[in-house]
Amino acid sequence: MTNRLDAVLYGYFRSTAAYRVRIALGLKGFDPVSRFVHLRKGEQSEPAYRTINPAGLVPYWIEGDLHLAQSLAIIEYLDEMHPQPPLLPKTPAGRAIAREISLVVCCDIHPIGNLRVLNRLTEMGVDETLRARWSQYWIEAGFEAIERRLEQLGAGPFSFGEEPTLADICIVPQIFNARRFGVDLSPYPRILAIETSASKMEAFARSEPGRQPDAE
């Protein structure tokens, strides 16, 4: 069941950062108005969108006077405003570890393989095969760290047991991205198990890129 939220989410079906926010909204039972920014066509760089978000990135969140960029900031804002179900574990250590996993995805993996970075590599003469290897390399480095952490946590079916948290919200879209770049996921059974668990939940399933209205 979804509830209308008086807010607008700017996104793009294949944006993993927007995908994170869609999952969080789904878990909270919200369905805001969606606007689509076609990143491949460069709409993020056009003045019409730059006046909305000067950073020229998605996701972007507008709710009344609040204009907010950065998926993690948006998700934590939603979690504070609508605490049920909680998206962070109960203990301070658990919350810190959930943020650690999220930051591996959002700081150590995602920015290095972002569209604007890949475009810059193209401008510098790097061909498609090498660009894919570049992305694979950084995804594998990050997934290696996350897999080891998930082994320590030993929980399941999600990172912190029965309920998904911010960690899973960040991991699942990154798996989608890893597949796009042809990463061999067999060394990461714990990460793959989270994807399997997530696929059974409506909030995750409805957020998949292929199910978005702007999907191609």
Footprint of ligand GSH (CB under 6 A): 15-17, 39, 44, 57-59, 70-72, 106, 114-116
Q: Which is nearer to ligand GSH, 12 or 204 (CB)?
A: 12
Shortest gap between Cβ of 73 and ligand GSH (angstroms)?
A: 8
How many Å apart are CA 200 and CA 77, to the nearest integer? 26
Q: Which is nearer to ligand GSH, 26 or 209 (CB)?
A: 209
Shortest gap between Cβ of 111 and ligand GSH (angstroms)?
A: 6
Q: Which is nearer to ligand GSH, 16 or 207 (CB)?
A: 16
Radius of gyration of the CA atoms of the chain, in A: 17
How buried is 18 (Cβ within 10 angstroms: 0-12 exposed, 13-18 middle, 19+ buried)? buried
Shortest gap between Cβ of 156 and ligand GSH (angstroms)?
A: 26
Shortest gap between Cβ of 107 and ligand GSH (angstroms)?
A: 8
How many Å apart are CA 66 and CA 206, to the nearest integer? 26
C-alpha pair distances (Å), 127 with each of 15, 164, 186: 22, 38, 26
Find, among 162, 151, 166, 148, the residue nearest to 98 by Cα: 166
Q: Which is nearer to ligand GSH, 114 or 136 (CB)?
A: 114
How buried is 76 (Cβ within 10 angstroms: 0-12 exposed, 13-18 middle, 19+ buried)? middle
DSSP string over 132-161: HHHHHHHHHHHHHHHHHHHHHH---SBTTB
Shortest gap between Cβ of 3 and ligand GSH (angstroms)?
A: 24
Shortest gap between Cβ of 41 and ligand GSH (angstroms)?
A: 11
Q: Which is nearer to ligand GSH, 88 or 153 (CB)?
A: 88
Q: Quick check: helix, strand or coil at residue 67?
A: strand
Orientation angle between helical segments 16-28 and 71-81, nearest 10 degrees: 10
Q: Quick check: helix, strand or coil at residue 177?
A: helix
Q: Which is nearer to ligand GSH, 115 or 192 (CB)?
A: 115
